């Protein structure tokens, strides 16, 4: 058992190192993923912020959680892209001919997604601080925020794995993320749901992004989270398990 675990983690380290080298040689992916959310942050805070009533003193504090989710949703499209390229180039068949743990091929991409998205989130937080973002969250609150963002990233990354393994073209591999990027715009990320028409409000209040945004917003403000954190965790964990199940099913069927 110890030998199996040792081989698994050794193989995982090799696969992670391979994917991270691709990222380090192509930092434009992280830059591209980071620029759009920062541009949205600047646009909404300095152009639209004065006309949007959120009931808070700082619009950047209100807006930041949704921007972080948009950054992650943008970042996972590159995971699908890199997987698709590996499939097309026959990399999976090549590695399968070697004595390595098969699942580490996917986990290498998944962990790389976690690292690259974490870098994007940190950069956006630094920009937000320069724009006036302030938080009264405790260390435990920050750890809770980090945990939610990790679960959200993992859930979307395994969705990206399905797209990367199933797509017929490069455009198809990355285009699946567009609806996910659009979801925060129909949530409480930018404006309170109370200001929306009834039908739109019903959708906004019952989709995963709203509960995740509200949980993160409350944690960053050091306020009671209430039931939103349980709803956020339920969405993230539920999507994660379903996406992982179907991703492994597609992987085993194809290889």
The domains of the chain are located at 2-254
Alpha helices in 97-138 (DSSP H): 104-130
For residue 27, the model assigns a pLDDT of: 65
**3-state class of 39 per DSSP?**
helix
pLDDT tens digits, one per residue of 48-96: 777 777 777 788 999 999 999 999 998 888 888 888 888 888 877 777 6
Would you state the structure tokens that stand for residue 141, as one six-digit string? 């609150």
Nearest by Cα to 76 from 251, 245, 240: 240
Query: According to the model, what pLDDT value does residue 106 have?
Result: 83
- DSSP E strand boundaries for the chain: none
pLDDT at residue 26, as a whole number: 67
The reported pLDDT for the residue numbered 28 is 67
Q: What is the pLDDT of residue 2?
A: 43
Q: What is the pLDDT of residue 1?
A: 40
Its pTM stands at 0.89
What residues in the chain have per-residue pLDDT under 50? 1-4
- In this structure, are residues 188 and 213 in contact, taking their beta carbons and an 8 Å threshold? yes
How confident is the model at residue 30, as a pLDDT?
67
């Amino acid at each position: 058992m110890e030998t199996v675990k040792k081989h698994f983690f050794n193989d995982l380290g090799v696969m992670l190192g391979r994917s991270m080298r691709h990222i380090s040689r192509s930092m434009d992916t992280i830059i591209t993923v980071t620029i759009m959310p920062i541009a949205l942050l600047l646009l909404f805070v300095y152009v639209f912020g004065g006309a949007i009533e959120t009931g808070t003193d700082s619009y950047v504090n209100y807006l930041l959680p949704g921007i972080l989710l948009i950054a992650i949703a943008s970042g996972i499209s590159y995971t699908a892209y890199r997987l698709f390229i590996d499939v097309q180039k026959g990399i999976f068949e090549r590695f399968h001919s070697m004595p390595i743990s098969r699942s580490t091929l996917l986990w290498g991409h998944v962990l790389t997604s976690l690292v690259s998205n974490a870098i994007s989130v940190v950069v956006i937080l630094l920009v937000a601080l320069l724009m006036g973002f302030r938080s009264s969250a405790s260390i435990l609150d920050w750890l809770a925020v980090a945990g939610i963002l990790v679960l959200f990233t993992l859930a979307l990354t395994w969705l990206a794995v399905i797209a990367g393994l199933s797509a017929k073209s490069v455009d198809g591999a990355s285009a699946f993320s567009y609806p996910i990027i659009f979801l925060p715009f129909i949530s409480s990320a930018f404006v309170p749901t109370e200001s929306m028409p009834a039908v739109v409000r019903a959708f906004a209040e019952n989709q995963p992004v709203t509960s995740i945004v509200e949980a993160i917003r409350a944690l960053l403000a050091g306020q009671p989270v209430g039931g939103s954190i349980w709803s956020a965790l339920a969405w993230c964990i539920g999507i994660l398990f379903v996406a992982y199940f179907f991703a492994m099913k597609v992987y085993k069927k194809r290889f």
